[in-house]
A and B are shown apart, each in its own frame.
Chain A
Amino acid sequence: MDADREALLRRMHDVLDGAASAEERAQLDAALARDAEARAHFDELRRLFDALAAAPQLAPPASFVDDAVAAIARTRAPDARQLFARAGVIVPTGSDIRVRATGPTVANARTRSEPIWGSEHMSTSKRGLWMVGGVAAAIAVVLVAGVVDFPAKGDDATGAIVPAERHRAQQPGAADVKLIGGTQTATPAAPAQPEPGAQAARDEQGARAMQAGRDASQAGVGANQAGRDASQAAMDANQAARMQQQGREATQAARDASQAARMQQQGREANQAARDASQAGLGASNAARDASQAAMDANQAARMQQQGREGNQAARDASQAARMQQQGREANQAARDASQAGLGASNAARDASQAAMDANQAARMQQQGRDANQAARDASQAARDANNEARAKK
């Protein structure tokens, strides 16, 4: 491509970019008027510019502003650079979930979580250091768990379950009981006192002793009963303890079930939140589409405005051309007038020349007249001289 051609092409770009001066535009117009190939190239280039101008402006996600401002607020927070400063449950935000309505793949349902440790500005090396440390700690825990059996598992436990030992109250012994008239009394018999009238007293005493024996026997029975009761109470207590343990286990199971239910509920809520977020994402997508459409409309309006401006410019150029044409016409007229005036002047000059020639002729004739007069006068003088000479001769 020769230099002139390339300069012409660059001029086309400048003009279409709106960066050319009026003079440069006029030069390009002149070049296009006489060069069909350049004109075709210019048309192609104009179509390229139009296509670039028609490209829609894309809209960022609807939540973009909120996300950006929130991210900046986090970086400005005082705890933003502390490790684990914002630990928490990973929760997808509505803006993070994007669903493709159509497309070759299901989507990039992209879930970006809130960071759970450090700030976004933690250096890569520092973050890597903590990650390596974490992995090392996890490996250590696994190794220790392999060596130490904790907690003990059920099949590792050995032994037998025995009933609780029964409580035994102190029992009265055989020596403590002696039967009257028999072989035993509850207490050792007092030594016999061979006193008169003491038989009644001895009977009385024997009766008391028997009563005491009966009481003691009764007490022994009561003690036995108490022991049985105590044993029963112990068994009951044991049973109660077992039941308490079972209750505790049941409570724990209930707590676990409750926890599971809560987690299930949280899962349901999370699912619902995800669905809501998805719905919100869809709404945002629609809003973005609307905004994009509005932007396209605005772009179209801008293009039409630009076309209007170009039309105005063309009209101005045409007006300018018309003015110049008028000026040309006026100049032509002036030239014609001048020519006409020149023609008149030429005629006048011709007339003047003719007059001068006539005057010259007249002057010449006047001179001839004068010469004739002189000759006449000379002839008259000669005649007179001849007359005088004749008279003298006479």
Chain B
Amino acid sequence: MIDDPDHALLERYLRGDAHAFRDLVVRYQRPVYNAAFGVLRHADDARDVAQTVFLRVAERAGEFDGKHRVFSWIYRIAVNESLNVLRRSGREEALGEEDDLPDEARIDPQRHAEDGERARRVHEAMTRLPVADRTVLTLRHFAELSYAQIAAVLELDEKTVKSRLYEARQRLKALLPDL
């Protein structure tokens, strides 16, 4: 068993402490939501997936392998659930259209004016990338995971992660020639 404070939360939840699970949701709601949004590019779908992720975590808490990090496990569920949604909706490939940002992000012109313009262009370009590219870029740049952590989430080796990141960025850069 590795030293991970989230393990203690899971164990408390399994003993019937609902507050422990609430703490876990509070801690991971934002990264899980952002990871789902990064893959799906759709706010409502991201919200549904994030809620499903925590349901899965609650259901499978008893099966969690203590040799892994809890956050890796949660991210893995988030990525898999997001990919399932894409698969079910037939949107596995690049979306090719403007992403559905949450309202609060869409209606803040000042934010976009100040430093959001480039970020908005990056968001739009990401919708045109393949899912695998979006996934790895999201985990690295939005979830800010290290190579090793991404490797754990995607169950790949670090070398492959580095290679995928490199190729995804090259493709993204090609979509943004005058960034």
Contact = CB atoms under 8 A, between A and B. Distances in A.
A292 B22 contact: no
Interface in A35-76: 44-45, 47-61, 64-65, 67-69, 71-73, 75-76
Interface string A288-303: 1100110110001000
B55 interface: yes
Interface stretch (A24-32, A102-110, A171-179, A262-270): A102-110
Given A65-B26, A98-B103, A51 B121 contact: yes
A380 to B, nearest CB: 104
A248 interface: no
B34 A58 contact: yes
B34 A64 contact: no
B173 A71 contact: no
Contacts of B34: 57-58
A13 interface: yes
B125 to A, nearest CB: 10
B63 to A, nearest CB: 16
B176 interface: yes
A285 B29 contact: no
A323 interface: no
B108 A289 contact: yes
Contact of A51 (B25, B101, B119, B140): B119
B106 A13 contact: no
B58 interface: yes
Contacts of B121: 51
Interface string B139-179: 01110001100000000000000100110011011001001
Nearest to A45: B173
A68 B119 contact: no
Given A56-B116, A64-B47, A296-B111, A75 B55 contact: yes
Interface string B21-32: 110011001100
Q: Chain A binding site: helix, strand, loop or mixed by DSSP?
A: helix
Closest 4 CB pairs of A and B: A60-B33, A52-B141, A289-B104, A51-B118
30 contacts: A13-B165, A13-B166, A17-B165, A44-B179, A48-B176, A51-B119, A51-B176, A52-B122, A52-B141, A54-B118, A55-B119, A57-B142, A58-B30, A58-B34, A59-B102, A60-B47, A64-B29, A64-B33, A68-B29, A68-B50, A68-B51, A69-B21, A72-B55, A73-B18, A100-B103, A102-B107, A285-B103, A288-B104, A292-B105, A293-B111
Interface of B: 18, 21-22, 25-26, 29-30, 33-34, 37, 43-44, 46-47, 50-51, 54-55, 58-59, 101-108, 111, 115-116, 118-119, 121-123, 137, 140-142, 146-147, 162, 165-166, 169-170, 172-173, 176, 179
Interface of A: 9-10, 13-14, 17, 19, 44-45, 47-61, 64-65, 67-69, 71-73, 75-76, 98, 100-103, 108, 110, 120, 285-286, 288-289, 292-293, 295-296, 300
